[in-house]
């Protein structure tokens, strides 16, 4: 049951990261190393 309880929190964090990624992408900072790391952490799960 703890996994189910933790899921909404993780989803919210993912959405927040995705929002940051969208903003960074629009700012054309996609070649930034930290941005790439954040992208991998967000989508390579």
Q: Where are the domains of the chain?
A: 2-43
pTM: 0.40
Query: Can you give the pLDDT at residue 4?
Result: 57
Question: 19 — phi, psi (to 5°)?
Answer: -65, -40
Residue 2 — very low, low, confident or very high, per pLDDT cuts 50/70/90? low
DSSP code at position 31: T
pLDDT in tens, 5-39: 667 788 888 888 888 878 776 666 555 677 777 77
Residues 6+ apart with CB under 8 A from 24: 30, 32, 35, 38
Query: Can you give the pLDDT at residue 31?
Result: 59
């Amino acid at each position: 049951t703890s996994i189910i309880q933790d899921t909404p929190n993780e989803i919210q964090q993912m959405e927040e990261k995705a929002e940051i990624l969208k903003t960074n992408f629009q700012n054309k900072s996609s070649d930034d190393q930290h941005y790439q790391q954040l992208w991998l952490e967000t989508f390579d799960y």
